Structure formats: structure tokens, C-alpha cells
Structure 1
Amino acid sequence: MSLLKNVGTIGGLTAVSRVFGFVRDILVARVLGATPMGDAWQLAFMLPNIFRRLFAEGAFASAFVPLFNRRMVEGQSEAQRFAESVLSVLLPILIVFGGLAMVAMPWVVAYFAPEGLESDPEALPIAVMMARITFPYLLFMSLATLVAAVLNSLSRFAAAAAAPILLNLCLIVALIYGASLGEGVMARRESAFWQSVALSLSGLLQLVWLAFWMHRAGFRIRMVLPRISPGVKELGVLIVPAVFGAGIYQISRFVDLFFLSTLEVGSYTYLAMADRWNQLPLGIIGIALGTAILPALSRYLSRAENEEAQRLQSNAIELAMLLTVPAAAALFVSGSAFTRVFFAGGAFSLEDAIITGTVVSGLVIGLPAYVLIKVLTPNFFARKDTRTPVYTAAFSLVVTVGLNIALVPRLGVLALAVAGSIGAWCNVALLYVILAKRGFFRLPARIAGRIARIFVAALVMGVVLWFLMQPLDPWFGGTTLQRTGGIAAVTLTGAAVYGIAAILLGVLDRATIARLMRRQT
């Protein structure tokens, strides 16, 4: 299957999940709002997800996939034994860690809770209870990541890409029930409680869903007694640096939590709601590209097909920029329009929506960089080099923390978005320079010129949208019909202007589409 088709499969299903995610966040804004209980829910949601990304998604998958693919060449039975031995060690680690985390949860929540939450004698114990209820999600999703890695290695991308839909459906059902409880503090507390239950339940459902499709693919992982096999040792050697690399990113998330705890109530919610708009293109494009190219890069490099690996990497970068640069430009200019139209209402005021829109603008400055990191790091992982991304991420973290210290007192929650974006661009620059110096990858001049034209086309679109925002401004806070018309005008105008500019500048042509559609082997 071609890169474009693989990304289309993963990205399309991710887009469906993101649509449900938007419905979820709209309901969260209306039911919980930027209130102490809204911040408590965001903290309870973030904690297991931070550790999930640390133990599972990035670190585990990046180390597991190349080793699993190598064993698949030797035969499926060998790959099955490897997966079983990994599961036998992973499961006890997750159980022990989860138990310790639940014991320590009162201190963890108290440390990261916003100042307004600590002043409420009822809110803090409820936040601790919610965090404990959500923490089994880490166990379920870490196991689900193992199954998803097997499916992706078998080029069965659809099931794993569709799994997050179950998360959003569970949370939406809980939120609809919460909305039926009415308004007030007690109603928000009960709603947040059932969201916590729904989160852990969604993790279990995703694990069952992925296990079903792995079984359909003819692959089974049995439960065996824990054993440190040679394969597990090899995985450990690769995964430790990857965990530190993911850990550096998650440390930056904890740094964000620390700074958020010093800001006014609502800051957790502002950042979480703004990140939804950043995660839409990042999830659909960046994660889809990274997931799609890692198995293919591993196969090319194992067969010493370096030219094919270079081609795949170039195509991935071009496709990433073709899609994310215009998205970033549009959201930078019109982010507040989207947050006002979709989030304002109920417990989420117009002022909350405007602040969130400002944070969106800060986040999307780094959107192309976040996607490029997802695209460039597989080149290291496919070569079993999980250390270099650690060093580049560490440098990025130092830059981000330094900027946070300097900017948060002046800019508040916006500073966290801007600092993270600048740090991401520093990470991209280091990754590319290292790849080039080692002779692993250099961006062809032809592709670099095309990317420059992509930026020009996005700039033209951004200027047009900037002039359009002022006359449409009253529509974004008006009636439902006016809001719909305003967003439709922004979206259609942006798409039309970018499309025309891209064609006139030679960004889009038949040769480009044919190259991206070329089949991977």
C-alpha cells in the first residue's frame, strides 16, 4: 500500500475519532467549564495519559516494532513467542506501578492542583478519587499499545486507528448524563465522577477491540509466566533510552502542570481545550505518518535499500508540510473564531473562549514542528537508535523550561504554548542536522523548494483570513445560524485560497500525487 493510502487509512479513522473528541470537549466546556471541578477533571485525565505516553505509545512502539518485524521475517511463531515474553514482563510492571501511583495519589494531586482547587475543602479529595479511578486506564492502554504495535507491524492499521473512537464515545455518554443533572457544583461533581469511570472503561473496551482484530488477523498472544528472554533483554536495551526520550517529553508535561498550578483557576481547561485544536491535525497527520513509515523504513533498511528509505522519508516530510502548514496558518489567524463558536456557552463563558483561542494561536506556531518530529524520529528508531532523539528532546526541554520561567509571569497560560512551540522547532532542527551529518537523510533541493512554496501559499491564505476576521467577528458570538455561517465562510475561504495558491505556485500537480501514491514494498 502507498504512503498516501496508509496515512489516509490511519488519518481518516483518526479524523472520525477527533470529531467525536470535539463533541466530547464541547460537552466538557458546557457541563464543567473553566471551574475548579473542570480543572480537577483535566488533571485526573492528564495523569494516566502522561504515564501512558511514557510507558507505551512512543517509547514502547518505537523499540518493539523493528524487533517484531525482524522476527516476522523468521516466521510468525518466532514473532509470537517474542510478543508473549514481552507481555509476561510488561504486565507485572504495570500492575506494581499502578498500585504505587494510587497510594501516592493524594500527594501527587495536591502538588499539581491549581491554587483555587486547594482552597476548596471538598474539591481536592474529589480530585484524588477521580485520579485513582482513571489510573487503570494506564494499564489497559499500555497493553492495548502492545496489541496495536503487532497489528501495525502486520500492516493492519485500521483497528488501532479506530480504537480511540471508543474512548470518546464512552466519555460522551457520561457527559450527556452529566448534562441531564442540571447546573451547579453538585451536578458538576457527579458528572466529573462518571467521566472518570468512563475513561477507565474505555481503556478496557479498546484493549478488547484490538485483541479481537489481532485474533482475526491470525495472531495470538498467550499469557505465559514472566521470563527475561534474549528478545526481552534486547527490547530493554532499546526501550530504556526511548523511555528516557519519552520521559523528557513527559517531564515537560509535568513542568506545564507545575506552572499551571501557579496560575488562576481555569488555566488547565484553557490549555486542554486549546490543545484539542492542535491535536486535530497533529493526530490525523503527524501520528498517522509516523505510524505508517516506521514499519516500511525498518523493512527498507533491513534490506539495505537506502534509496527507497530516502524516498519514503522525503515523501513523508513533503506530505506533512503540505497538510500541516496551512492548518497552522488558518488556526493562528482564526483560532478564537473556532473556540467561540464551538466552546462558548453553558459553564464556559465568552471570555473563556477568547482566552482559549489565544492559546490556540500560540500552540499552532509549533504544529509543523510537532509533526516533523513524528516524521523524523522513525529514521532513528528504524536503525535501532533510540538514544539520539533523547538528546534532542532534552535540549528542547531545556529551551522550553527556560522560556517558561521567563514568559509565564508575563503571559500566563499563553507562555506555555509559545515556549513549547519554540522548543519543538529546536528539536526538529537538531534531528535534521544529525541525520544529515550521519548521511542518513538530506532533504532534496526539489522538495525543499516545494516546501518553501507551501509556506508562501499558506501565508497568502493567512493574510486573506486576517482581513476576513473583522467583518465576520459579530457572527462568531451570534445565533447558531450566524456561527455556522461564520465558520463556514472561514473554512471555505481558507481552503479555496490555499488550493488556488498551491496550484498556481506548482505545489500540487499530478507528478506529486503520483509520487505520494507510489506503492511501498
Structure 2
Amino acid sequence: MTQQQDPASADQKPANNKGPGLLRSSSIVSLMTLLSRVLGLIRDVVVAQYFGARADAFFVAFKIPNFFRRLFAEGAFSVAFVPVLSEYRRMRPLEEVQLLIARTSGVLGLALLAVTLLALLFADYLPWIFAPGFRSDPEKFALTADLLRITFPYLFFISLTAFASSVLNAYGRFAVPAFTPVLLNLCMIFATLVMTEWFVEPLFALAWGVCLAGLVQLVFQLPFVARLGLLVRPQYQPKDEGVKRIGRLMVPALFGVSVSQINLLLDTLLASFLESGSVSWLYYSDRLSNLPLGVFAIAIGVVILPALSGKHAADEKDSFSRTLDWAVRMVFLIALPASLALILLAMPLMSTIFFHGEVTAYDVGKMTLSLQAYGSGLLAFMMIKVLAPGYYARQDTKTPVKIGVQAMVVNMVLNLILVFPFAHAGLALATSLSAYFNAYMLYRGLRQQGVYLPQAGWWSFAFKLLLANGALLGLMWWLMGPAQAWLDWSPSWRAGWMALIVVSGVLLYFALLIAAGLRLRHLRGEVF
């Protein structure tokens, strides 16, 4: 029992609490997330080969519980729970931390069970809300509802998984939560390759794969929580002081942290009225644009939230600001070249990854347009992930929710303006433009509150980025050649040439940054 308590007990001391640097912690999360995203890309390729653009019904049935998962579990709940848990960890004894976890998990678990049962009862009606355009195809509409009955229990399991991940992240154990999504991808690949033969309608295999993945991910994380001495029996105590604080922080954060997810859901809703296949085109392009977002920005956001929460609890304002500044610089370092690559190489990327099996050249062309639209907003998407923790770490969830509502209004207006001339690509572009509005408002708020003060050296840093990204753009343009030629090449030739472009681009980009004076020590964040 003593060994179990050591990690938590040691964390009660706020002074001289040395830990891994932010760059090292972010790198660990990025590496694990990269593994997950690569497998996720393989998963999408496998699904695309089997189903092409015919999987609209499954993608909607998967998006609905996934939306609630990101909204409640990884979104509003985590940003409300982690700061409170971080404060308990630093300021209170282990027994009170265990009580907070027990009572929070009890209330959360019961709420999730109630939502899941309600969704199963009303599964026939949910597609009317999330994909009303499917009403013109009664068979697709009914199939979506049937698939939803299988996929929705995923919300229960994956939300409890996210709860366990929040506990591990608050204690600096980032690798396990970052690795966990690998299991989802493995389950879905298995379902596609093996389980599709078990069903008359093969899409049911994907639905059962999702449900199984939720349970597997939860079971995987529990032993690591137990090693911290924090695997406790749930208690239903909604009047507990800590639980009530989490609830108060969570309610406004429902919108503030998940605006991008709400915007994407609005895209799906409107896309259901468009040409058949529009939902799939948006899904595949969104998944590809999310690769750099998940590997880097989300990893940085995950790492800095508990770090910022601890600095706020210790009233270390200067250190708080420096940590935010480090995160913003890291985003610019990664987002700018990634955005240029997604825009310029959209056709080569889509043809290399998805132009197989049931995916046609027409599908690739449509996915290219939406990928370019999403890619143009990558910097804003990534910036939101690192600026929002600046509010949540200070337990301020009201300001982001105000900004979030404004951004949603902007997105809806732009959707209605851009969907007519640009169809599904207009929906993606509207999401990107509203993300820039969201990011700017978050940044302006932090500056006005005096929370974030950019550190010295930004002009020099910007010049180095401009030089490196300009050269990268020229290299990619030179190596890419005619975009249409990528559809004529063999899969192996496309893959080999894309590898050459990626490797050459990465080497040139960082070589120029080093030549301009950027060093590893400039990228190291503060310790926890």
C-alpha cells in the first residue's frame, strides 16, 4: 500500500517539483499519438477500400457518440476535472484525492449510463437531428438508426476511458492515454478485415468493432490508474464540494472547448442534404487534416493543461505566461509547414492514401477540395488547442463559452453562404474561417486579461519561419509535378514519390531553421 501511495504523496509537495520538460512530455505524447494516427490512417484506407463513399450511414452513426464523447468526456469534462484534480493533488492529502476521484466517477458513470439508455430508446429519431438529409433515402435512414444502437454504448466506455486518462495526465503519465486510441484502430481494422463476412450488411461489423473498442480501451487503462493508488470504488455523491465545482466548470465548457466538434457536426448535417458521398468526402479529408492536429497540437494541449493548472495554483504568473508562449511558438513551428503541405499536396496525398478499391478518381477530386479547405484552417485549429488551456487552467470556463457561441454563429452564417457555390468544400472552408475567429478571440482575451505576454524574440522567430516555409513551398511545388499525373501512376510509384517529397521537405525545413540559428534549447519548455 505504501508503494501505491508514493507517486501521489510525492506530488503533494509543490516546491521543487521537478519533472520532465514540456518538450519531452509533448514529444512522448506526440510519438504515441503518431502511432495511433498512423494506424488510424491505415484504418481509414482499409475502410475506404471496402466501402468507398458508401459508408455514409456508418460515419453518421459513429459521429454521434463520438461527438458526445468529445463534447462531454474529452472536452468539457477533462478541462473542468483536470484543474480541480491538479489542485487537490498539490494542496490536499491522498485520501481526499481518492474521494474526489471516487465521487466524480460515480456521478459521471451514472450520467453516462442514463444518456446511453436514452439514446438507445430514441435511436430512430436521432438521425432526424444529425442527418436529416437522409430522409430522402429511407433505407439509408433506417440503417443509420440500426447502426447507432450498436455504436452508442461506445460513449459509455470511452468516456470512462477519458476519465482515467485525465487522472493519468494530471499525474504526468501521458504515454498510456496517448497510446490508448491505437486499440480503437486495431479493433476497427479487425472488424473490417474479418468481421464483415459475419453480417449480411457489412457495415454492422464496423459498428460492433467500435463498441468493442470502447470496452477494450477502458480495461487497458485501469491497471495504470491502480498503480497510482487511485483505482477506487465509485460513489454517487453529487453534493460533494469537488464534484459540484467540476459540474459548475463543466456546464459552460460544453460549448467552449468543443466548438470545432459542433461545427463539424453542423457540416455533417448540411452535407446530408448534398450529393451522395459528401459525408464520406468530408470525413476522409477531416481525418487527414487531423493528423498533424492530433500528433502535435492536442499533445501540447494535453501536456500544458496540468502544468498551467499547477502554476496557477502556485500563483506563478510569469511562468504561466512563458509556458503559454512556448506552446504558441511550437504551434507556429509545426502548423505552418503542415498547412502548406495539406493545401499544395492535397491531390497527391488523397490519391496516394485513398485511391484504391471502391474509391474513384471522382471521389479523390472531391476529397481534395475539402482537404484544401480544412488545411487552410490548420493553424487556427491548432492554436485553439493551446490557447484554451490558458482559460481552463485558471478555472475560467465562461470566457471560452462566450467566444465559442460567437464562433458557432460565424460558422453557421458562413456555412449558409459558402455551401451553395462550393458544396461540401464550402462547409469545410466555413469551419476553417470560424476557427480563425475563435483563435483570435481566445488570444485577445488572454492578452487583455494580462495572462499571456509574448516573450522576446518573436520577430527573429518569425523571420526564421518565413525563410524555412518559403523554401519548403518551393521544394514541394517543384517535386509535386502535375497533380493529375498522380491518378495515372501506380500505387507503389505514388507512395514512393510522396515519401521522397515528405522526407526532403522535413530535412530542408529543419536544416534551414538550424542554419538560421534555431536550436533545441530554444524549444524546451519549463519543467512541471
Q: TM-score, normalised by structure 2?
A: 0.92
Matched, 1:22 2:33: no
Query: 2:274 matched to which residue of 1?
Result: 263
Kept after mapping to 2: 8 A contact 1:114/1:264: no
Secondary structure, counterpart of 1:122 in structure 2: helix
Find the aligned partners of 2:307 and 2:434 in 1 and give their Cα distance.
29
1:362, CA displacement in angstroms?
0.6
1:346, CA displacement in angstroms?
1.3
CA distance 1:248–1:421, change in 2 (3 Å): closer
1:499, CA displacement in angstroms?
2.5
Deviates more, 1:236-245 or 1:149-158: 236-245
Query: 2:524 matched to which residue of 1?
Result: 517
Give a deviation string over 1:296-334, Cα, whole Å, max 9, x none: 111112112222112211111111211121111111100
CA distance 1:180–1:481, change in 2 (3 Å): farther
Find the aligned partners of 1:123 and 1:355 in 2 and give their Cα distance.
21
CA distance 1:451–1:394, change in 2 (3 Å): farther
Find the aligned partners of 1:365 and 1:231 in 2 and give their Cα distance.
41
Give a deviation string over 1:322-378, Cα, whole Å, max 9, x none: 112111111110011111011012111121012112211110111111111111111
Give the partner amino acid of 2:108: L
Q: How does 1:14-163 map to 2 (within 5 A)?
A: 14-35=33-54, 38-73=55-90, 74-113=92-131, 115=133, 117-163=134-180
Find the aligned partners of 1:157 and 1:499 in 2 and give their Cα distance.
26
Kept after mapping to 1: 8 A contact 2:257/2:388: no
Query: 1:253 matched to which residue of 2?
Result: 264
Give the partner amino acid of 1:31: Y
1:210, CA displacement in angstroms?
1.1
1:180, CA displacement in angstroms?
6.2
Kept after mapping to 1: 8 A contact 2:187/2:213: yes
CA distance 1:472–1:92, change in 2 (3 Å): closer
Deviates more, 1:45-54 or 1:101-110: 101-110
Query: 1:483 matched to which residue of 2?
Result: 494
Find the aligned partners of 2:302 and 2:247 in 1 and give their Cα distance.
21
1:44, CA displacement in angstroms?
0.8
Kept after mapping to 1: 8 A contact 2:347/2:483: no
Matched, 1:207 2:224: no
Kept after mapping to 1: 8 A contact 2:33/2:178: yes
CA distance 1:478–1:25, change in 2 (3 Å): same
Q: How does 1:29-428 map to 2 (within 5 A)?
A: 29-35=48-54, 38-73=55-90, 74-113=92-131, 115=133, 117-177=134-194, 190-246=201-257, 248-428=259-439
Secondary structure, counterpart of 2:481 in structure 1: helix
Kept after mapping to 1: 8 A contact 2:264/2:431: no
Give a deviation string over 1:169-215, Cα, whole Å, max 9, x none: 0000011126768xxxxx8x632101101101101111111112111
Kept after mapping to 2: 8 A contact 1:2/1:516: no
1:89, CA displacement in angstroms?
1.2
Deviates more, 1:126-135 or 1:462-471: 462-471
Query: 1:493 matched to which residue of 2?
Result: 504
Q: How does 1:430-445 map to 2 (within 5 A)?
A: 430-445=441-456
CA distance 1:407–1:89, change in 2 (3 Å): same
Q: How many pairs are equivalent?
A: 508
Find the aligned partners of 2:489 and 2:196 in 1 and give their Cα distance.
23
Query: 1:184 matched to which residue of 2?
Result: none
Q: TM-score, normalised by structure 1?
A: 0.93
1:128, CA displacement in angstroms?
0.8
CA distance 1:452–1:389, change in 2 (3 Å): farther
Give the partner amino acid of 2:99: R
User: Gaps spanning 5+ residues in structure 2: where?
Assistant: 1-19
Find the aligned partners of 1:118 and 1:480 in 2 and give their Cα distance.
38
Kept after mapping to 1: 8 A contact 2:257/2:400: no
Find the aligned partners of 2:482 and 2:137 in 1 and give their Cα distance.
43
1:165, CA displacement in angstroms?
0.4
Give a deviation string over 1:204-240, Cα, whole Å, max 9, x none: 1111111121112332221224442111111111111
Query: 2:8 matched to which residue of 1?
Result: none
1:259, CA displacement in angstroms?
1.0
CA distance 1:432–1:348, change in 2 (3 Å): same
Find the aligned partners of 1:83 and 1:428 in 2 and give their Cα distance.
32
Deviates more, 1:246-255 or 1:277-286: 246-255
1:483, CA displacement in angstroms?
1.3
Secondary structure, counterpart of 1:190 in structure 2: coil
Give the partner amino acid of 2:119: A
Secondary structure, counterpart of 1:105 in structure 2: coil
Find the aligned partners of 1:239 and 1:220 in 2 and give their Cα distance.
23
Give the partner amino acid of 1:149: S
Find the aligned partners of 1:86 and 1:277 in 2 and give their Cα distance.
35
Kept after mapping to 2: 8 A contact 1:114/1:263: no
1:449, CA displacement in angstroms?
3.9
Find the aligned partners of 1:46 and 1:459 in 2 and give their Cα distance.
37
Kept after mapping to 1: 8 A contact 2:107/2:235: no
Give the partner amino acid of 2:377: G
CA distance 1:194–1:448, change in 2 (3 Å): farther
Find the aligned partners of 1:378 and 1:51 in 2 and give their Cα distance.
20
Give a deviation string over 1:29-59, Cα, whole Å, max 9, x none: 1111112xx1001101100011111111111
The match for 1:7 among 26, 29, 43 is: 26
Give the partner amino acid of 2:126: V
Find the aligned partners of 2:136 and 2:117 in 1 and give their Cα distance.
28
CA distance 1:8–1:126, change in 2 (3 Å): same
Kept after mapping to 2: 8 A contact 1:31/1:179: no
1:245, CA displacement in angstroms?
2.0
Give a deviation string over 1:228-286, Cα, whole Å, max 9, x none: 21111111111111123246444323321221111111011001100111111100111
